[in-house]
């Protein structure tokens, strides 16, 4: 038995560490297209102190550490590129709500499902921004990759809703970030002080392990409804989004397109979500949405469709099960998307490219674009499905996604949760001084380069 | 090419112009109606082509069976007038495209058509269907396509209907009980209007229900309830079936309340009005209909068409009136349970 393994057992207890082939196999891959690479150890800490000890051990032994939530970001961000330790955060599942302050402090492994049910049971008038990833996705990791959820149209990226952090730095110190650094309240991740949360959010675990995170909660209205708007003109979509977001009344706006099922063919479906405390409030918002788009109704370029009340539960579900269903459309469980964060005005160009690449590489495609922060940008997904048992489709999907990423960057977007190759593309285009700053920060925080090596390596 | 059997002279001689004068959604005095209708007949542009709510009612109002509504749809298409937004039209055309994906049961010479409406799979069970339940067809291949009347796409109907009829015939079906009365309307009104012959006999499901209820007479417990009957657009293609509503209600002890918006004066579910004319008109039509049911003291609202059910069910529930499909109402009378129930409120928060 190696010293590292024995020490890990001492830190977390023997049930929560493994170097067995089964675990190494499982923790060496994710559901996306990046090649697998196995870790040497998998460890599941329960406390911040245990995380600290593991990090200290890793520094001493110069082994890599990769924090992992549910491993669902799809772009290989939790694949240990040089082996080492995968730190599975799932045992850190504490939830503490400050009802009056409308925020929650979650430990590093709390899932969206766990928080959702905790709030529904104990604080039904509060909610958080739920992404459409499968429910086991973790809140911390989702913020770490700047995820987006149901409240993103109104409130920005899920990481914009963070209200404080507790981080174990790569050198082992525990640091509090935001108001919680000076107060017992977790109401702000930075302001009115320098906002240091930016040293950790978006870094894919390369600058430390977040052990606790404050997340803002928002009023949970008594009712929700969904409207379905259809147009067949991609070039109108930016203006339609502008008009809808101008009302400042929509909870969420998601535009999708796919060649199948047949009702999707040749049209763009926009799901427009609204909330209210009364039927009158909902009705008013429905009317605002109709009025906003009257011009296109009259020109016959678009219109609202009736939504069967039997379809609504699945459309209103959080997370939406449809994305996950789509993920297995080719059977064999392969699905990955390149999701640039992009100017909304580029929607038509992106759609054209999505279809072009699908036909060039003979792939089934879909796209869902979520409006971010009242219409300042969108997440546009180039999604392709593949069968894991068929290396040829996997290759084609990978090439298509690489081209999509290249294209997205050329067209003014920035790649969201980029894989290693895409990180390279982003860094190649980055302002050189910014890139240098990135490197300096990383070097300063992680002098031994142990944290999730390979990612954001500014050479 | 299939052509509408339309006789100009009948309209030229018509004094009443009931097709337009009786219209619930466009308001014409007789003279304007005559002028506007002649424009339609002559292939000129007319306000009618733009304002038509596509409720099908003029098919019933015309005393000569001259198919005024089918003519309106033809003219709208000729002129490129879109009653509904173009993408919604496209969506409808695509989603019901026959693509060889359908379901057939153990089909016999007498069979049931569920059209392309899954609700009928829920409804068509129990004693009322005990001798036919397995003999059913469902899917795009058997979809009657009449819905395109709402979208000025007679061309799609002309193109697809003969194939649909052929698909049904290929199953060896001689007698087809149509659970969607739009199918029955398609086979007995639309098809003959275009000279399409049927190699099978369509039977309206009301007739089937009526016959079965007579067989099960001893098991009927009169319901003794007051109901508002919700007439749907396709009922206008087949007014001759309306008497079955009263016949069935008579057998199961149901009182069809007297109200303003029933029979010839019925209002449609307005969901396609919402799509094509906007929410103001649709809300108004639906509200008037619901207020009328309440005023007449209805305890139940009885639906024929699953499309109307979907668009109205939640609104009916809100009034305190109980929504029920005709098949389920008959089931209640023989001690069975309502199968198609209102949806749970979708409030996922
Ligand atoms: C079907 C489907 C739909 C999706 N829809 C959405 C969507 O609507 N919105 C959205 O945002 N995403 C979506 N995703 C992407 C992804 O699943 C989510 O963003 C998810 O929240 C990521 O969380 P995770 O726990 O799986 O992260 P992981 O993949 O486990 O981790 C992501 C990154 O965070 C790092 N990390 C993990 N924990 C820590 C920690 N404690 N401290 C520091 N770093 C850490 C990891 O090292 C990794 O770099 C979807 C994915 C799928 C498969």
Compute the distance from residue A141 Cα to the ligand 1 centre, in Å.
5
- Domain boundary, last residue among A163, A191, A219: A219
Q: What sign does the dihedral A157-A158-A164-A170 (CA atoms) show?
A: negative
Quick one: average pLDDT of B24-40?
97
Establish if A438 belongs to a structural domain: no
A144 ligand 1 Cβ < 6 A: yes
Compute the distance from residue B60 Cα to the ligand 1 centre, in Å.
60
Q: Is the CB of B314 less than 8 angstroms away from the CB of A309?
A: yes
A159-179 in b/e form (b: 16+ CB < 10 A) is bbbbbbbbbbbbebebebbbb
**Model pLDDT for residues B270-310, shown as the tens digit of each residue:** 999 999 999 999 999 999 999 999 999 999 999 999 999 99
Give the residue whose CA is nearest to atom 1 of ligand 1. A324
**Model pLDDT for residues B189-217, shown as the tens digit of each residue:** 999 999 999 999 999 999 999 999 999 99
Burial of B192 (0-12, 13-18, 19+ CB in 10 A): middle
Question: A204 and A234: one domain?
Answer: no
d(CA A315, CA A229): 13
**Model pLDDT for residues B222-243, shown as the tens digit of each residue:** 999 999 999 999 999 999 999 9
| Whole-number pLDDT of residue A325 | 75
| Whole-number pLDDT of residue A1 | 52
| Whole-number pLDDT of residue A202 | 98
Residues of chain A with pLDDT under 70: 1, 330
CATH of the domain at A57: 3.30.43.10
- Domain boundary, last residue among A88, A116, A142: A88
Question: A160 and A237: one domain?
Answer: no
What element of type H or E holds A86? strand A85-88
| Whole-number pLDDT of residue A323 | 77
**Cβ neighbours of B349 in A, within 8 Å:** 120, 124, 127, 220-224, 275
Domains along chain B with CATH numbers: 8-79 (no CATH), 93-208 (3.40.50), 219-333 (3.40.50.1860)
Nearest one of B346, B340, B345 to B301, comparing CA atoms: B340
Q: What share of chain B is helix, strand, coil (3-state, %, to 5)?
A: 50, 10, 40
| Whole-number pLDDT of residue B348 | 59
Quick one: average pLDDT of B39-44?
98
Question: A112 and A206: one domain?
Answer: yes
Q: What residues contact residue A437 under an 8 Å CB cut-off, 6+ apart?
A: none
Q: Which residue has the tokens 């894919």?
A: A204
For residue A50 the two structure tokens come to: 């245990």
List the alpha helices (DSSP H) in A330-453.
347-360, 391-410, 420-429, 432-445
Quick one: average pLDDT of B175-193?
97
Burial of A150 (0-12, 13-18, 19+ CB in 10 A): buried
Q: How many CB pairs under 8 A join A and B?
A: 96
**In which band, very low, low, confident or very high, does the pLDDT at B349 lie, cut at 50, 70 and 90?**
low
CATH of the domain at A174: 3.30.465.10
- Domain boundary, last residue among A297, A316, A335: A316
Q: What sign does the dihedral A447-A449-A450-A451 (CA atoms) show?
A: positive
Interface check B85 vs A, CB under 8 A:
yes
Rounded percentage of chain B residues whose pLDDT exceeds 90: 96
Question: A308 and A339: one domain?
Answer: no
Report the alpha-carbon angle B98-B99-B101, nearest 5. Answer: 100
**Model pLDDT for residues B43-86, shown as the tens digit of each residue:** 999 999 999 999 999 999 999 999 999 999 999 999 999 999 99
- Cβ-nearest to B310 among A265, A303, A308: A308
**Model pLDDT for residues A397-416, shown as the tens digit of each residue:** 999 999 999 999 999 999 99
DSSP B106: S
Nearest one of B264, B329, B263, B281 to B301, comparing CA atoms: B329
Give the residue whose CA is nearest to atom 50 of ligand 1. A133
Question: A243 and A330: one domain?
Answer: no
Establish if A112 belongs to a structural domain: yes
Q: Which range marks the domain in which residue A13 is found?
A: 2-88
| Whole-number pLDDT of residue B43 | 97
CATH of the domain at A243: 3.30.70.3450
CATH of the domain at A346: 3.40.462.10
Q: How many helices (H) and strands (E) does chain B have?
A: 17, 9
For residue A270 the two structure tokens come to: 């926009």
Stated pTM of the model: 0.95
**Model pLDDT for residues B109-128, shown as the tens digit of each residue:** 999 999 999 999 999 999 99
Question: A308 and A246: one domain?
Answer: yes
Nearest one of A398, A457, A448 to A430, comparing CA atoms: A457
Question: A16 and A121: one domain?
Answer: no
Question: How many domains does chain A divide into?
Answer: 4
Question: A407 and A297: one domain?
Answer: no
């Amino acid at each position: 038995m190696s010293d590292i393994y024995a020490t890990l057992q001492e830190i977390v207890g023997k049930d929560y560490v493994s170097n067995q082939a089964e675990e190494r196999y499982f923790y060496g891959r994710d559901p996306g297209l990046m090649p697998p690479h196995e870790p040497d150890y998998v460890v599941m800490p329960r406390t911040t102190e245990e995380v600290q000890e593991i990090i200290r051990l890793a520094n001493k032994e110069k082994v890599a550490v990769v924090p992992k939530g549910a491993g669902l970001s799809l772009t290989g961000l939790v694949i240990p590129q040089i082996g080492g330790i995968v730190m599975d955060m799932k045992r850190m599942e504490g939830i503490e709500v400050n009802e009056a302050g409308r925020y929650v402090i979650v430990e590093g492994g709390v899932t969206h499902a766990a928080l959702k049910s905790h709030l529904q049971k104990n604080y039904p008038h509060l909610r958080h921004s739920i992404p459409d990833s499968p429910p086991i996705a973790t809140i911390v990791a989702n913020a770490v990759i700047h995820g987006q959820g149901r409240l993103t149209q109104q409130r920005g990226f899920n990481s914009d809703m963070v209200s404080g952090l507790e981080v174990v730095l790569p050198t082992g110190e525990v640091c509090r970030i935001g108001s919680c650094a000076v107060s017992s309240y977790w109401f702000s991740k930075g302001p009115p002080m320098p906002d240091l949360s930016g040293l950790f959010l978006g870094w894919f675990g390369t600058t430390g392990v977040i052990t606790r995170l404050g997340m803002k909660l928002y009023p949970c209205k008594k009712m929700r409804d969904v409207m379905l708007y259809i147009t067949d003109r991609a070039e109108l979509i930016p203006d339609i989004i502008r008009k809808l977001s101008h009302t400042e009344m929509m909870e969420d706006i998601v535009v999708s397109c796919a060649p199948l099922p047949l009702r999707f063919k040749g049209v763009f479906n926009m799901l427009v979500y609204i909330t209210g405390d009364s039927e009158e409030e909902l009705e008013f918002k429905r009317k605002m949405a109709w009025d906003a788009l009257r011009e296109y109704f009259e020109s016959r370029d678009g219109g609202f469709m009736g939504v069967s009340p039997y379809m609504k539960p699945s459309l209103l579900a959080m997370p939406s099960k449809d994305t996950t269903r789509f993920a297995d459309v080719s059977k064999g469980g392969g699905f990955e998307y390149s999701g640039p964060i992009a100017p909304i005005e580029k929607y038509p160009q992106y759609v054209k490219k999505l279809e072009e690449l699908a036909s060039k590489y003979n792939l089934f495609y879909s796209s869902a674009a979520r409006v971010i922060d009242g219409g300042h940008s969108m997440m546009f997904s180039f999604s392709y499905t593949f069968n894991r048992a068929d290396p040829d489709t996997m290759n084609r999907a990978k090439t298509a996604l690489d081209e999509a990423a290249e294209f997205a960057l050329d067209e003014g977007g920035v790649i969201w949760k980029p894989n290693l190759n895409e990180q390279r593309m982003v860094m190649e285009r980055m302002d050189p001084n910014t890139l240098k700053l990135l490197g300096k920060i990383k070097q300063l925080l992680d002098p031994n380069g142990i944290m999730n090596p390979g990612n954001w390596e500014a050479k | 090419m299939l052509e509408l059997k339309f006789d100009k002279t009948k309209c030229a001689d018509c004094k009443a112009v009931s097709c337009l004068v009786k219209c619930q959604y466009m308001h014409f005095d007789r003279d304007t109606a005559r002028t506007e209708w002649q424009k339609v007949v002559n292939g000129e542009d007319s306000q009618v082509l733009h304002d038509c709510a596509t409720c099908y009612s003029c098919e019933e109002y015309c005393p000569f069976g001259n198919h005024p509504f089918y003519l309106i749809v033809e003219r709208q298409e000729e002129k490129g007038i879109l009653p509904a937004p173009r993408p919604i039209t496209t969506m409808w055309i695509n989603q019901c495209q026959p693509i060889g994906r359908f379901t057939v049961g153990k089909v016999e010479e007498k069979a049931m058509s569920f059209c392309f409406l899954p609700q009928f799979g829920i409804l068509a069970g129990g004693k009322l269907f005990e001798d036919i339940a397995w003999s059913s067809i469902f899917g795009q291949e058997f979809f009657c396509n009449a819905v395109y009347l709402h979208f000025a796409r007679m061309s799609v109907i002309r193109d697809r209907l003969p194939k649909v009829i052929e698909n049904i015939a290929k199953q060896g079906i001689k007698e087809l009980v149509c659970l969607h009365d739009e199918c029955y309307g398609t086979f007995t009104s639309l098809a003959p209007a275009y000279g399409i012959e049927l190699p099978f006999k369509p039977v309206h499901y009301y007739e089937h229900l009526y016959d079965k209820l007579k067989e099960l007479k001893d098991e009927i417990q009169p319901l003794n309830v007051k109901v508002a009957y919700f007439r749907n657009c396709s009922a206008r293609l087949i007014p001759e079936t309306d008497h079955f509503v009263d016949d069935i209600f008579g057998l199961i002890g149901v009182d069809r309340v007297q109200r303003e918006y029933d029979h010839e004066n019925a209002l449609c579910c307005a969901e396609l009005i919402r799509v094509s004319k906007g929410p103001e008109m649709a809300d108004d039509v639906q509200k008037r209909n619901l207020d009328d049911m309440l005023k007449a003291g209805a305890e139940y609202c009885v639906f024929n068409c699953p499309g109307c059910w979907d668009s109205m069910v939640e609104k009916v529930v809100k009034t305190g009136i109980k929504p029920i499909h005709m098949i389920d109402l008959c089931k209640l009378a023989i001690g069975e349970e309502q199968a198609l129930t209102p949806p749970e409120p979708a409030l996922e928060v």
